[in-house]
Structure 1
């Protein structure tokens, strides 16, 4: 049976397009059919060349068909990427040999119910962010967990994140770094005017809710991974729970997550006297 791999790149970056052409050609030389930026149906893998934004775009395509995703970073941080650009020849060799493992990353299912009863659905691998709809006005919101209200405040927004997303927007908002194998969800208020507005970590079976209060018609919007927007008029309720379908990531190494943190954030570790770190 023939093998097929989808190659996705940042089409606005010439270096990414050139890298995708090289990867596609190398795979074809090894008898593997390739497609560019299309459907992941019948593909065994999606290889992504770009930054985290490109990987998030490709995740939408890969998740729809339950296909693993392998990211190669051509951007700045590339936290979701498994390899850097200089490792492309090794990446191709490992893919040809099927020398990779697949891990599942938790996602979020998002439901927005408007005051009129209209229901809108979406999902996210990093975060759902409830944000103010107008730059000059705060959003008035009540947050709740498992059907109980916790706190009401005015804020710029509320981030509801997965462990994968803990190093993205939630990190910038002051949330904790959570190892990706931890099953949990994060709540991180953004610039909240409240005494109790600390980041929280809840269990994977919990349900998170944000009610947009009907004050002065202060509407909000919900951004899913910063890519897809749902309107949340005043009086709306946003419900977030563990996603029914995860995103599958292909891994080339079994290096601990701490190694990725050090590499991506350029953390200083001088003085560490533990065992010698493995590459």
Structure 2
């Protein structure tokens, strides 16, 4: 059975629904989201391949428009992503050249990029219907690959760009620099260059610090480095950071961006990373402090925490000051 909506009202609010359609829970969530959006007078939109997968076993389908067939990307107000952080990264890649914000509903494990959990799906859709959400911008990275004087690659990343050894049995020899000034050379398994958003992902697994999203900075995290000085570094957002692959040993490397896009890097190449002029836009339904999100996602123990002292009685302060002065 097919049930595609082809005719559409150009004034109807259009919401793009992304789902990991290989998972039963994601398909169920997508059907519910589409049904709720359509029932509220909004037009759900999906990629044709995702929609075809969704229609299998859908007992009471609602009309869904098809991306790039009946709807152009510039007509979409918002993207709803049903899945884990990987699904959000996939969606961010698809709408990279647009201004569409994304709201994630976590169906995965940690899900730092997601705004809501599966149990909050109906409330999330309801907030979207009411336009009750805020949009925040997350810093992204521009990545360029040079071999000699020739640019052999250009891409971007929301979380991180990682340069990794191409041969599992051998390290790569690298030199890192910041703003065209050398910092150190060493052998390693790789180097991660991350945003604050990516500080809770690959960078964190490699021993890097967690950085609050409001802080604009870039991280350099060596992986299994054979060096005395191989600590993670935090640079200014105005900096350009680079990793050079030594040509002396002939070891090729692999560049990965957000764990999704990869490129083979020949020995002697240079990978330059800088802040992108185009951020990724995330919609927030439940704006909570990052510290609260951090504790919830990592299930951190907080027993014994007492909180700030509430200063209600200040009558003794002048006497204390007098005693100190005497």
| Range of TM-score over shorter length | over 0.9
1:119 deviates by 2.6
Partner of 2:216: 183
Higher RCO (CA < 8 A, seq sep 6+)? 1
Please give the residue correspondences for 1:128-139 in structure 2 after superposition, counting only pairs within 5 Å. 128-139=161-172
In structure 1, runs of 5+ residues without a counterpart are none
1:116 deviates by 6.9
Partner of 2:177: 144
Once residues 86 and 148 of structure 2 are traced to their aligned partners in structure 1, the CA distance between those partners, rounded to angstroms, is 32
Partner of 1:245: 278
Selected match of 1:29 from 33, 36, 39 = 39
Matching of residue 174 in structure 1 with residue 174 in structure 2: no
Matching of residue 5 in structure 1 with residue 38 in structure 2: no
TM-score of the superposed pair, with normalisation by structure 1? 0.96
Partner of 1:17: 27
In structure 2, runs of 5+ residues without a counterpart are 1-10, 48-66, 309-326
| Equivalent residues of 1:184, 1:204 under 8 A apart | yes
Once residues 17 and 114 of structure 1 are traced to their aligned partners in structure 2, the CA distance between those partners, rounded to angstroms, is 44
Once residues 93 and 256 of structure 2 are traced to their aligned partners in structure 1, the CA distance between those partners, rounded to angstroms, is 15
| Equivalent residues of 2:26, 2:82 under 8 A apart | yes
Once residues 123 and 21 of structure 1 are traced to their aligned partners in structure 2, the CA distance between those partners, rounded to angstroms, is 32
Please give the residue correspondences for 1:1-279 in structure 2 after superposition, counting only pairs within 5 Å. 1-37=11-47, 38=67, 40-115=73-148, 117-274=150-307
Once residues 122 and 42 of structure 1 are traced to their aligned partners in structure 2, the CA distance between those partners, rounded to angstroms, is 25
Q: What RMSD in Å do the two structures reach over aligned CA positions?
A: 1.1
| Equivalent residues of 2:144, 2:151 under 8 A apart | no
| Equivalent residues of 1:63, 1:246 under 8 A apart | no
Once residues 248 and 131 of structure 2 are traced to their aligned partners in structure 1, the CA distance between those partners, rounded to angstroms, is 56
| Equivalent residues of 1:62, 1:69 under 8 A apart | no
SS at match of 1:160: strand
Once residues 37 and 147 of structure 2 are traced to their aligned partners in structure 1, the CA distance between those partners, rounded to angstroms, is 48
1:216 deviates by 2.6
1:271 deviates by 0.8
Between structure 1 and structure 2, the one with the greater Rg is 2
